[in-house]
Each structure stands twice: as structure tokens, then as C-alpha cells.
């Protein structure tokens, strides 16, 4: 068995910042500390901090008045900030700077009279936060059918924004559909999809022709991890999305495959190395050069 480690892979700058911030607060201030939603979408990281006494909450009603609260990397709406102030919470904001940029773009567009079409997944923490900035002026679309059903004419001022963790290829296709339907639509100079997400997808696309199987280390709650596995599938390469080495379905391997291992932007590198160690132990795998 040959193992090809994709480059780049794993933690992006925003995730590193959020995880290090929470680690620092725990060390300096102790627990309990509350985090609004998962700090990042990775089961292992969430369990690591939960075992240290961090409490992850889905509503601020679960946070005592005056307690310490961290906002996750995915961003929050102004309404959540307001509630935190009303409850006199000591807040630490770990929002990814790229997500903050999308929030500010939404506000700027609406202030200039635009209605916004947001390409993203309903219910995702990041999308919920962006919609909360301008709830009366934003429409979410997930596919071409929803774009075709939008109730706008060609004279209305429209702008598009995108969730940062989407499939690059799919998102560009939806942007093109928007531009055909609404020639007047405007958007950021480049897609809001973050460079880390794009570069990891590019690596999978580049190396898929060389391998038989792709293992993506990442949680199913992680949008960008799921996109990596989907990309391999679309290129005709079997993929497995695993939270940890223990989830690798060893019975699906013969021992003679070429295997690419990559990781979503919220998956730590030591999870990747445990996968490598397991394949070496089970199949005598060796690392191949890209």
C-alpha cells in the first residue's frame, strides 16, 4: 500500500486561531467557560475541550449571567451579541476573519441599497450568522433550482455572497447561473470561499488520478470536509470521511491500494498521523511522494 499525504491539509488559520484562543483562556482563567456552538466543526476537538470543562451551548439561556462566553469560528448574528450584553457576559470572539469579511460585506451591500443572494447551506452556523446581519434583505440559495425560483427582476440591485466552506467548482457554477439570470448582479472581486478551503480541494483534484482511495479526516458536521469527500467521489475515486483512525473501514481495503489522505480545515494533524500509523500496521503501507 502506498500513502500519499495531500498538501495542504488540515487546520486553516481561522481554526488554529480559534482553538489556540480557547486553549489559552482555559489555561489562564480555568473553567467553566462557555462556547456558543462548537468552537470548530470537529468532534475530537470538541470532546477534548469538553473533557477540560468547557461547556458548549446552543442558546445563551444555558449560560449563567456574568459568565465567560466564547463565540465560535463560524460567526454570530448581532442578535446574539445583544443577548450576551444583556446577560452581562464576558465575551471572547473567535470568529474567523474571513467570515467577518462576509458579514461586513452583507452590511455594506444592504446599506447601498442591494438585496443579497447568499450561496450556502441553510442551518449552517456561518450562514445563520450572516443572515442575522441583514435578515430582511437576504435570500439563501443552495442549487440552480432555487436560483431559477428567485422573485427578482433584471432591474433590481442585487449582490451575491457565498459561505466560505463550499465546493469551489460547484459555487462558481452557481455564480455563473446567477450572472446569466441577473446580468446586473454584483459580487466581491473574488469568491468568498476561503483560500484554505480552495487549496485543499485543489490538492484532492490534482492527486485523485494517482490513487485508488481517498481518506478524508474530518467530521460530518464539517462542510469543507464533506466537500473534499464529495469531490473525490465525483472524480470516480472511492472516499471515506472519518473522524479518526478507528473509523477507517479496514475490511474495505486489500492492502495493494494507493491511498491519499487529506484532512478538512478543522481536523488536527495528529489525527492524520494516526491514520498513517494504522495503515502501516495493518498493511505495511509506505509513504509515497507527490
Q: What architecture is the 98-181 domain classified under in CATH?
A: 3-Layer(aba) Sandwich (3.40)
Equal fold, 13-96 vs 98-181: no
* pLDDT value for 194: 79
pLDDT band for position 196 (50/70/90)? confident
What digits encode the pLDDT tens for the residues 139-178? 999 999 999 999 999 999 999 999 988 888 888 999 999 9
Q: Is 71 helix (H, G, I), strand (E, B) or coil?
A: strand
The reported pTM is: 0.87
Cell of 183: 446580468
| Closest C-alpha to 191, from 165, 222, 225, 157 | 165
- CATH code: domain 13-96 is 3.40.50.11270
Q: Are 260 and 208 in contact (CB under 8 A)?
A: yes
- CATH code: domain 2-11+195-287 is 3.40.1010.20
Report the 10 Å Cβ neighbour count for 239: 21
Cell of 54: 468547557
Residue of 38, 126, 133, 257 marked catalytic:
126
Distance from the first to the final alpha carbon of the chain: 15
Is 181's pLDDT higher than 90?
yes
pLDDT band for position 19 (50/70/90)? very high
Domains of the chain, by residue range, sit at 2-11+195-287, 13-96, 98-181
| 230 is an active site residue | no
CA distance 139 to 116: 6
| Closest C-alpha to 117, from 130, 99, 98 | 130
Beta strand pairing status for 2-5 and 258-263? parallel
Residue 70 CA to its chain's centroid (Å) = 18
Cα dihedral 69/70/76/80 (nearest 10):
10
Average pLDDT of the chain, as a whole number: 94
With b meaning 16 or more CB within 10 Å and e meaning fewer, what string describes 187-201? beeebbbbebbbbbb
* pLDDT value for 191: 57
* pLDDT value for 13: 87
* pLDDT value for 170: 85
Amino acid at each position: 500500500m502506498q500513502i500519499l499525504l495531500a498538501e495542504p491539509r488540515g487546520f486553516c488559520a481561522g481554526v488554529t486561531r480559534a482553538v489556540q484562543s480557547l486553549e489559552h483562556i482555559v489555561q489562564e482563567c480555568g473553567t467553566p467557560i462557555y462556547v456558543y456552538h462548537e468552537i470548530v466543526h470537529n468532534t475530537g476537538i470538541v470532546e477534548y475541550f469538553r473533557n477540560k470543562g468547557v461547556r458548549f451551548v446552543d442558546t445563551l439561556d444555558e449560560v449563567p449571567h456574568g459568565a465567560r462566553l466564547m463565540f465560535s469560528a463560524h460567526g454570530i448574528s448581532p442578535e446574539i451579541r445583544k443577548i450576551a450584553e444583556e446577560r452581562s457576559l464576558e465575551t471572547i470572539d473567535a470568529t474567523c476573519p474571513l467570515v467577518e469579511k462576509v458579514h461586513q460585506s452583507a452590511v455594506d451591500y444592504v446599506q447601498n441599497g442591494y438585496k443579497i443572494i447568499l450561496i450556502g447551506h441553510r442551518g449552517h452556523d456561518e450562514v445563520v450568522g450572516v443572515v442575522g446581519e441583514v435578515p430582511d434583505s437576504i435570500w439563501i440559495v443552495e442549487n440552480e433550482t432555487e436560483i431559477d425560483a428567485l422573485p427578482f427582476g433584471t432591474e433590481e440591485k442585487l449582490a451575491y455572497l457565498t459561505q466560505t466552506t463550499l465546493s469551489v467548482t460547484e459555487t462558481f457554477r452557481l455564480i455563473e447561473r446567477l450572472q446569466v439570470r441577473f446580468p446586473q448582479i454584483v459580487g466581491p472581486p473574488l469568491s468568498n470561499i476561503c483560500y484554505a478551503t480552495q487549496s485543499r480541494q485543489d490538492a484532492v483534484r490534482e492527486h485523485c488520478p494517482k490513487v485508488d482511495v481517498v481518506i478524508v479526516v474530518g467530521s460530518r458536521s464539517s462542510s469543507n470536509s464533506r466537500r473534499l469527500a464529495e469531490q473525490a467521489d465525483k472524480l470516480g475515486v472511492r472516499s471515506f470521511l472519518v473522524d479518526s483512525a478507528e473509523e477507517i473501514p479496514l475490511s474495505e481495503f486489500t492492502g495493494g491500494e494507493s491511498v491519499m489522505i487529506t484532512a478538512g480545515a478543522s481536523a488536527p494533524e495528529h489525527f492524520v498521523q494516526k491514520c498513517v500509523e494504522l495503515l502501516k500496521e495493518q498493511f505495511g503501507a509506505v509513504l509515497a511522494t507527490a
